[in-house]
Amino acid sequence: MDPGLHVKQAITHLEKVIKYAPMVAKDRNATVHLTAEDWQVVVDAMFHMDTPSEFFPATIEKYRMAASGQAVELEMSDLNISIEIF
C-alpha cells in the first residue's frame, strides 16, 4: 500500500512533532500544539483511515486518543508526547 497525500502529510507532521518535542519536554513528557487543520490530518491518518502503523515513524511504540478526543498521545521509549490543538 502506498500512502496517499493525506497520510504523507500526517507523517510529516508527526516527524516534526517528534523532532520538536525534546526541546519542550519536562522529564519524559512533552506537549506539542498543532493547528486545528494539522491536528485533524494526524487524527484522520491515525484513527479514521485504517493506515497501517508501520507507516508512522518507527519511534512511536503506541498511540491513542486522550482528553476526551482533544489530544493524541504518543508513547516512545524515551518520551511521551501529547499533541493538542493550538
Specify the pLDDT at position 26: 97
Contacts by 52-59 with C-beta closer than 8 Å and gap 24+?
52/1, 55/3, 55/7, 55/11, 56/11, 56/14, 57/11, 57/14, 57/15, 57/18, 59/18
* Residue 3 pLDDT class (50, 70, 90 cuts): confident
Kindly report the length of the chain: 86
Number of domains in the chain: 1
Under the banding of pLDDT at 50, 70 and 90, the label for residue 1 is low
CA distance 10 to 64: 15
pLDDT in tens, 24-62: 999 999 999 999 999 999 999 999 999 999 999 999 999
What pLDDT was estimated at residue 7? 95
Q: Which domain holds residue 59?
A: 5-85
Q: pLDDT by residue (tens digit) across 6-15?
A: 999 999 999 9
